[in-house]
Amino acid sequence: MGKKQAGTGPLSRRPDNSAFKQQRLPAWSPSLTAQTVLPTFYILSLVCLFLGIWLFITVENTYELKVDYTNAGTCERCFDLRKHVIASKTACTCTVSFQVPKLFQGDVFFYYGLRNFHQNLRRYMDSRDDAQMVGRKNNLKAPSSYCAPFDFDANKVPIAPCGAVANSVFNDSLTVVYNPADGSEIQVPLYRKGIAWYTDKNVKFRNPPTNDTFTLQQAFEGTTRPLYWQRPVYELDDTNSNNNGFINDDLIVWMREAAFPNFKKLYGVLNRAQGPFTEGLPPGNYTLSINYNFPVEPFRGRKELVISMVTWFGGQNYFLPIAYLVTSGLILVAAVVLTMVYVKVGKNGKNMEE
């Protein structure tokens, strides 16, 4: 070990006198003194307090409304109907009334929420083929083996999109009707587009190549729709032909798996262009009418509609401000205790045994 210089002379093997080799590199040695630690604690506490209060005020002015429609209103019937997967082909619609107590000012977002639905199971999350969904011709008809058993149907026809995730897509359609005091019915206009990540919509999900003569339907020829779907993938949206295939917004939203079993996903954004909705969602009575397709009874789940306002900080979220306030309080307590210990019994870093 150790390189020996070839030279001769009495000091030829003397190690170099470099700061590195002699472990004398200039260095900064911080130490935890009262002068640094105590102010840090007080400042941290103050910062947390400030953030907590600010966030709390912001959240206080953000409203959120949840309407559980699993078996509410007239949905009891549909709920029973969907108990059996076999009956999934029969259409069922129902309505639920609800009240908006306060004006939801500004942009209002409509979500569907699911409880107890595990999108985060390992095999579930693996059961998809991103190469297929990016529109690669080769992968379209040769779905990944991870998609099994949702890769081929009984006749060995490849499924597009394959996999458990796509197969279980949320397929209720929701319509909200505003019932003003005058007895009229105004359908709440929703933007159903632009509800997915930009990268998802434009990069991650692509249709197989089409042109004027080669339609989307032709592109998907030789594949079949997923088992639980009522329509093939190229006919998902009747109203907007650009929202069909893999780039369907609802599909993309669903394909972004939730991390926890209780989650909500964006359904639409209030179109404030006209009528009573220019300010936001006015208070009053509303009716939610549902095209009830998605079965939740088998896994003891719940479905809900979530209506929420959004600020710079996002939707209503009490956890963060409260967490900040609690942290601030705890740090303050710690700071006070530390100060007292330091003043009363502290040895100021001096070892008394010496």
Scanning residues 209 to 248, which ones bind other proteins (CB under 8 A)? Answer: none
Closest by CA position to 347, among listed 34, 4, 15, 29: 34
CA 255, CA 253: separation in Å to the nearest integer? 5
> Which one, 118 or 291, has the nearer CB to other proteins?
118
- Which residues from 158-177 bind other proteins, rule CB under 8 A? 164, 167-168
Cβ closest to other proteins, residue 34 vs residue 53? 34
For residue 300, is it left (φ>0), alpha (ψ between -120 and 50) or beta? left
DSSP H or E stretch at residue 309: strand 302-309
Count the residues of the shown chain that bind other proteins, applying the rule CB under 8 A: 109
Return the number of the residue (21 or 218) whose C-beta is nearest other proteins: 21
Q: Minimum distance between the CB of residue 53 and other proteins, rounded to whole angstroms?
A: 13
**Binding-residue pattern over the window 124 to 163 for other proteins, x denoting contact by CB under 8 A:** xx-x-xxx-xx-x-------x----x--------------
Stretch that binds other proteins, among 90-98, 182-190, 237-245, 265-273 (CB under 8 A): 265-273
Stretch that binds other proteins, among 178-186, 217-225, 233-241, 334-342 (CB under 8 A): 334-342
**59-85 core/surface letters (b: 16 or more CB in 10 A; e: else):** beebbbbebbbbbbbbbeebbebbeee
C-alpha–C-alpha distance, residues 13 and 242, integer Å: 78
Helices (H), 82-154: 122-126, 130-133, 137-140
Q: How far is CA 293 from CA 89, 184, 202, 213, 227, in A?
A: 8, 28, 29, 34, 14
Cα 65 to Cα 105, 109, 116, 222, 316: the distances in Å are 13, 10, 19, 44, 10
Whether the Cβ atoms of residue 85 and residue 259 lie closer than 8 Å to each other: no
Among 140, 174, 196, 216, indicate the residue that binds other proteins (CB under 8 A): 196
Instruction: Please report how close the Cβ of residue 213 comes to other proteins at its closest, in angstroms.
Output: 26
Per-residue x/- track, 3-42, other proteins (CB under 8 A):
------xxxxxxxxx---xxx-xxxxxxxxxx--x--xx-
Q: Tell the smallest beta-carbon distance from residue 145 to other proteins (Å).
A: 8
CA separation for the pair 111, 253 (Å, rounded): 11
Phi-psi region of 172 (alpha: psi -120 to 50; beta: other; left: phi over 0): beta
Task: Establish if 57 lies at the interface with other proteins (CB under 8 A).
Answer: no
Q: Which of residues 99-118 bind other proteins (CB under 8 A)?
A: 107, 109, 111, 116, 118
Backbone angles phi, psi at 146, to 5 degrees: -60, -20
Q: Which of 56, 218, 313, 329 binds other proteins (CB under 8 A)?
A: 313
Applying CB under 8 A, which part among 68-76, 242-250, 282-290, 314-322 lies near other proteins?
314-322
Q: Which of residues 269-298 bind other proteins (CB under 8 A)?
A: 269, 295, 298
Look at the block and give the residue holding tokens 């700061």.
Answer: 19
The correct pick among 65, 82, 104, 119 for binding other proteins (CB under 8 A) is: 119
Cα(196)–Cα(269) distance, rounded to whole angstroms? 12
- Sole window of 1-9, 151-159, 182-190, 216-224 interacting with other proteins (rule: CB under 8 A): 1-9
CB of 132 to other proteins, least distance (A): 9
C-beta closer to other proteins: residue 41 or 277: 41
Query: Residue 184 or residue 319: which is nearer to other proteins going by CB?
Result: 319
Whichever of 127 and 223 has its CB closer to other proteins, that residue is: 127
